[in-house]
């Protein structure tokens, strides 16, 4: 019973922290233990941070380099990545991404790709006005033969047909067979004009298909960014390519 009486809260004396003495009231409120604890914790936290930074500075490799050292700038005391001077999207891409759906854009891109293949099949990409970029290397036995080398003689054809890389007739073929096709200069010029026009259309369709592919990739990237998984940007977005992100691997069940 005596132990219970000693433990009884109502019989215990209330201990109060003393207040500021009267002759020190001009100094403000007396600091209590909880106030001192907050101040001490804050002080030790700052000291520990400074000690960690000093250790990091001592352990730093002088040859250490990251591209963010030159690709970032200090703004309001915070390092911020510099924005690229090149515009990431053209106005046409912005308008298309706002108004169109990815399925519609992909459908139009596939249609353009089919038209391109059909045009390539019609033109064969062979009879171009410019010389082809590919090379054909001939090997000879000596430097003397290199100086006297004649391509038309080596191919057994006429000099006017040397640049023709397909169906190049030989001299014997020209002697025995007649060449089929337009001979009239006006007809030849008309066919050449039509061919140039077709190649111009083909170039425009190839450019349009590339633009639609870029827009489709950018829309898909924005959809992928809605994923909650942790991600790292590998490559920034440009006019001709979408941004590339590396996502955290997710275990498949």
CB neighbours (10 Å) of residue 211?
19
Give the per-residue pLDDT at 181.
Answer: 55
**Measured between alpha carbons, how far is 202 from 123 in angstroms, rounded to an integer?**
10
Classified as helix, coil or strand, 78 is strand
Looking at residue 24, the DSSP 8-state letter turns out to be G
219 contact partners, CB below 8 Å, separation of at least 6: 97, 102, 105
Give the per-residue pLDDT at 236.
Answer: 85
**Measured between alpha carbons, how far is 59 from 52 in angstroms, rounded to an integer?**
11
Give the per-residue pLDDT at 1.
Answer: 61
Pick the closest to residue 105 from 223, 23, 217 (CA basis). 217
246, 232 in Cβ contact below 8 A? yes
pTM strictly above 0.75: no
Please list the pLDDT of the chain residue by residue as tens digits (253 residues): 667 766 766 667 777 778 888 899 999 888 888 999 999 999 999 999 999 999 999 988 888 888 878 888 888 888 787 776 555 677 777 777 777 778 888 888 899 999 888 888 877 644 544 555 667 788 888 888 888 888 888 888 878 777 776 677 787 777 777 666 545 677 767 877 888 888 888 889 999 899 889 888 888 888 888 888 888 888 888 888 888 888 888 777 7
Give the per-residue pLDDT at 200.
Answer: 87
Give the per-residue pLDDT at 87.
Answer: 53
39, 45 in Cβ contact below 8 A? no
Give the per-residue pLDDT at 45.
Answer: 97
Pick the closest to residue 219 from 58, 65, 68, 97 (CA basis). 97
């Amino acid at each position: 019973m005596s132990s219970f009486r000693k433990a009884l809260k109502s019989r215990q004396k209330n201990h109060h922290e003393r207040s500021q003495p009267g002759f020190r009231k001009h100094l403000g409120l007396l600091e209590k233990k909880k106030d001192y604890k907050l101040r001490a914790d804050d002080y030790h936290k700052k000291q520990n941070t400074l000690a960690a930074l000093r250790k990091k500075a001592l352990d730093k490799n002088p040859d250490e380099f990251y591209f963010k050292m030159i690709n970032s700038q200090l703004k309001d005391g915070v390092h911020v990545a510099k924005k690229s001077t090149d515009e990431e999207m053209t106005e046409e891409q912005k308008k298309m991404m706002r108004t169109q759906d990815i399925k519609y854009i992909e459908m139009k891109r596939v249609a353009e790709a089919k038209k391109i293949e059909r045009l390539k099949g019609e033109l064969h990409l062979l009879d171009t006005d410019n010389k082809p970029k590919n090379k054909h290397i001939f090997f000879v036995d000596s430097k003397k033969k290199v100086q006297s080398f004649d391509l038309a003689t080596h191919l057994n054809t006429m000099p006017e047909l040397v640049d023709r890389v397909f169906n190049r007739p030989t001299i014997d073929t020209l002697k025995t067979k007649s060449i089929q096709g337009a001979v009239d200069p006006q007809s030849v010029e008309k066919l050449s004009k039509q061919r140039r026009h077709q190649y111009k259309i083909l170039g425009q369709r190839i450019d349009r298909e590339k633009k639609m592919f870029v827009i489709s990739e950018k829309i898909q990237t924005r959809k992928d960014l809605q994923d909650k998984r942790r991600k790292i940007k590998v490559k920034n977005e440009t006019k001709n390519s979408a941004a590339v992100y590396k996502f955290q691997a997710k275990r498949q069940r």
